[in-house]
Amino acid sequence: MKKNLLLVIISLSLVVRCYSQELRSDKILAVLKSELEKENSYDLKKEDRIKQLRIQLNLSDKKNFNAQYALCSQIFDEYHSFKFDSAFMYARKMITLSEKFNNTNKLIRSQVQLGSTLLNSGFYKEAFDAVEAINIHGLSDSLKADYFNLRARLNAGIGDYDDDAYFSKIYRQRSEEDFKNAEVATPSNEFEKTINMAFQPDSIRDKKLTPDFYYNFIISKDLPEHKVAMVATRLSFAYTGDNRILFLALAAINDIRSSTKETLAIFLLGQELFKRSKTEDAYIMMQHAVKNAKFYGARSREVQIESILPLVAGKVIDQKQHERDKLLIGFLIFLIVAVVLFFLLVIYRKQIERIKNNERVIKEINSDLKSINGKLWESSRIKEEFIGLFFKTCSSYIETLDKVKRRTQHNIKLGKYNEANAVLDKVQVDKEKDQLYDTLDTMFLTLFPNFITSFNALLKTEDQIWPKSGEMLNATLRIFALMRLGVSELETIAQILDYSVSTVYTYKNRVKVKAMVPAEDFERKIMEIKFIDDLQPVGASLLT
């Protein structure tokens, strides 16, 4: 009994703790969204500070190196995490000043700052070149630490960029070595040591070093906003879940207040929110992250974010669509239930009778439809067989006449002139062909009574082709009539109509060029002409 009670108490304490952590992260996210709305005002203040510093720089003594360098350094610090191109320009200007006045320490410090700026924007090769140009012999410990920290960040950045099993491992090993060299040059102070302890394993870490401790610890140190953001971002890698969201949101808030555009915090926050299915908040953070990257000029960061942003946007759209679908389904279910209930209450007694009547009507309709379908199928088969028989008979007849003609010619060669003349007098091939075409025209127009009208609907008024008085189909119409019947090969059409293949081709192309539909669609439109136009306006469906 006591064990069960203890388990219940532990479970309740865990639930309360998780709820309080989630509530705290929700509150700081609300603060972050409020700060996002004030972002422009923070940026304007930074631009005003930069403007004042630039005025001072223009008015300063050009021969006074210390004054010139100090002002350029201040302007660089303002631009360093704000706008790449301006930061790059002032880093170059500090290098030029240092070379002009032969100040080695300031030169190296400026070169380190240039390398850091290039790294922030994804210019890895140029950053490596800048690092290689630095001579570290005889440097102060502070400058050595800055140099090693820059090289460590550069190796870590290129390792993450490569993201492969071989080269990335090499770059990360180099990064760890450089961080160790930086630690040797300038050992961590008490503040840094306390932050580093957050990354110790749980088994050896002091139990007092909780997320709440670190949150209050960095807030109480009266650090600059940009420094708070950097420390909070680093601490976020020591935690997961709501605690990580807490530190990333704190970092993002201070990035906004310090007008820091070259920032990782809000991007990581978007990723973490996306993992926890807080998709709308994740989308807001990702949008802001890509806007910052574009503003600063961080090309690699921009590409990285834009590769993920469509996934987040797609999930946002899916969630909203799912919510709309659920609302619609709920409404439809409610409506259907209400209608069904009303229907059952009002006409319940008559329902059985109506069902029986409906079943009887359905059976009758199905019987009628079955009969009609059978007749239609039979009619279609008769027409198909009849058309086939028609062509076979006519072709055979023409072939027979041709054979008679050849036999007659043979009799002539044998001198049997009377017999040949008797046969030839009775055979008139041209007349028989004309009769065949008339029969073909009559049969075709019986099957397709609206063919001529539908055909001309595909042509402009001045280009339309109509049979002359006494004709049913002319040569052009007859070619396309055969095509409508399924005779598509030019050789076959030419053989049936006693034309050359080139003549048939010329007739076809002459019409297709004048058609109001694209030439490649004309034959398809011809094949869509039906037995009856279903009382639709002529050509209404052919030109769609």
Give per-residue pLDDT as tens, 88-122: 999 999 999 999 899 988 888 998 999 888 888 88
Supply the pLDDT for residue 8. 43
Q: What is the pLDDT of residues 208-239, one digit of tens each?
A: 888 999 899 898 888 899 999 999 998 888 88
Residue-by-residue DSSP string for 502-524: HHHHHHHHHHHHHBSS-HHHHHH
pLDDT at residue 185 greater than cutoff 70: yes
pLDDT at residue 428 greater than cutoff 90: no
Residue type, 55: I
Q: Judge whether 82 and 259 are in contact, CB under 8 Å.
A: yes
pTM: 0.56
Supply the pLDDT for residue 17. 47
Measured CA distances, 286 to 7, 142, 283, 302, 514 (Å): 41, 36, 5, 10, 55
DSSP state of 221: T
Binned at pLDDT 50, 70 and 90, residue 382 comes out as very low
**Alpha-carbon dihedral of residues 90, 96, 100, 105, nearest 10 degrees?**
80
Quick check: helix, strand or coil at residue 539?
Answer: coil
Residue type, 501: V
The residues that bridge with 459 in the sheet, in sequence order, are: 515
* Backbone φ, ψ for residue 459 (5° rounding): -120, 155
pLDDT at residue 541 greater than cutoff 60: no
Q: Lowest-confidence range among 34-38, 295-299, 465-469?
A: 295-299
pLDDT at residue 400 greater than cutoff 50: yes
Quick check: helix, strand or coil at residue 25?
Answer: helix
Binned at pLDDT 50, 70 and 90, residue 390 comes out as low
Per 3-state DSSP, the chain is made up of helix, strand and coil in percentages (nearest 5) of: 80, 0, 20
Residue % of the chain over a pLDDT of 70: 86
| Mean pLDDT of the 258-282 span | 86
Residue-by-residue DSSP string for 428-481: -HHHHHHHHHHHHHHHHHHH-TTHHHHHHTTB-GGG---PPTT-S--HHHHHHH
pLDDT at residue 15 greater than cutoff 90: no
Supply the pLDDT for residue 91. 92
Supply the pLDDT for residue 257. 92
Find the angle CA(167)-CA(169)-CA(170) to the nearest 5 degrees. 65
pLDDT: which is higher, 86 or 5: 86
Other C-beta atoms lying within 10 Å of the C-beta of residue 80: 22
pLDDT at residue 379 greater than cutoff 80: no
Binned at pLDDT 50, 70 and 90, residue 427 comes out as low
pLDDT: which is higher, 514 or 444: 514
Residue-by-residue DSSP string for 324-345: HHHHHHHHHHHHHHHHHHHHHH
pLDDT at residue 393 greater than cutoff 80: no
| Mean pLDDT of the 266-283 span | 86
Burial of 87-112, coded b for 16+ CB within 10 Å and e otherwise, reads bbebbebbbebbeeeebeebbbbbbb
Element (H, E) at 12: helix 2-37
**Six-digit token pair at 347?**
């006409």
Find how far residue 364's CA is from the centre of its chain: 53
Q: Lowest-confidence range among 231-235, 462-466, 518-522?
A: 518-522
Q: Lowest-confidence range among 9-13, 37-41, 49-53, 183-187?
A: 9-13
pLDDT: which is higher, 153 or 422: 153
Supply the pLDDT for residue 89. 94
pLDDT: which is higher, 354 or 426: 354
| Mean pLDDT of the 258-276 span | 87
Cβ-in-10-Å burial (0-12, 13-18, 19+) of 451 comes to buried
pLDDT at residue 450 greater than cutoff 70: yes
pLDDT: which is higher, 84 or 534: 84
Q: Lowest-confidence range among 161-165, 245-249, 327-331?
A: 161-165
Supply the pLDDT for residue 386. 52
| Mean pLDDT of the 163-175 span | 85
Binned at pLDDT 50, 70 and 90, residue 21 comes out as low
Find how far residue 425's CA is from the centre of its chain: 78
Binned at pLDDT 50, 70 and 90, residue 523 comes out as confident
The CA distance from 453 to 435, in Å, is 24
